[in-house]
Amino acid sequence: MIWNLLLAHFMGDFLLQTDWIARKKENFSVLALHVAILFSLMVLFAGQFRNILWPYLLLIAATHLIQDRTKIVMTNKKRKQGVLFFFIDQLVHVLIIIGVIFLFESLNGPLTLPESPTWAVITLVAVILTQGWFITERIIFAEDNGYVESINQTKYSRMITRVTLTGLLYLVMSWAFPSLVLFVLTPYPQPHYRKRAMMIDLSVSVFGFLIIILASG
């Protein structure tokens, strides 16, 4: 269940959070819309347990709203700390989801969905490696206009590279070197940033690979 709810979170916070929502979240109605999308996704992915889980999902949604509002206020006051606030915010979101599910299970017993969590894990990794990392990388390097332009120009080719590399790493496990061929040949239009982008994509792909291995174990 935790993987399903993490998937709902990352889909709502990255894949389905449009630029308009991200820019307008200072408006409470827009922030409420964002949280409503997250809540709807959690209810959807909760499957057969949605009828008993919904109060806990509502708790997650409420804390998400409070967190996002706090992050907006803090970022406006200390813009130079925006990257730090972003990562702290995401970490706390994940910990709250895990904590709420553990709370539910401690009170009501374990939650075991009939289907394997594999689909949720793979989809979660795909979301993180595509739109999730695209947004994250732009936030990290927001002050480097040239590199941000390079990120925008290579958005889809690098998304495909990260997803494919992670898949190949998983398929061949320790025999991963053949998969580096695609990685090396991926087009990066601006040579000045090629090395940085390649190392970042490799690191993020390995991170995705490790998530799949962790879930498989």
Mean pLDDT throughout 30-42?
A: 92
Contact between 8 and 56 under an 8 Å Cβ cutoff? The reply is: no
Report the alpha-carbon distance of residue 105 to residue 107 in Å, rounded: 5
Report the alpha-carbon distance of residue 118 to residue 151 in Å, rounded: 30
Residue given tokens 């919904």 in the structure block: 54
What tokens does 122 get?
Answer: 């793979």
Secondary structure class of 166 (helix, strand, coil): helix
The confidence score (pLDDT) of residue 206 equals 79
Report the alpha-carbon distance of residue 211 to residue 164 in Å, rounded: 15
Report the alpha-carbon distance of residue 153 to residue 78 in Å, rounded: 29
Tell me the pLDDT tens digit for each residue of 60-103: 999 999 998 888 888 777 777 778 888 888 888 999 998 988 88
Q: Which residue from 93, 181, 111, 166 is spatially nearest to 133, judged by alpha carbons?
A: 166
What tokens does 157 get?
Answer: 């080719």
Amino acid letter, residue 34: H
Report the alpha-carbon distance of residue 204 to residue 105 in Å, rounded: 32
CB burial readout 24-35, b (16+ within 10 A) else e? ebeeeeebeebb
Q: Of how many residues is the chain composed? A: 217
Instruction: Band the pLDDT of 59: cuts 50, 70, 90.
Output: very high
Alpha-carbon separation of residue 144 from 50, 165, 206 (angstroms): 44, 26, 25
Model-level pTM? Answer: 0.79
The confidence score (pLDDT) of residue 41 equals 93
The confidence score (pLDDT) of residue 102 equals 86
What tokens does 173 get?
Answer: 């496990």
- Write down the domain spans for the chain: 2-113, 130-216
Report the alpha-carbon distance of residue 115 to residue 43 in Å, rounded: 16
Contact between 193 and 146 under an 8 Å Cβ cutoff? The reply is: yes
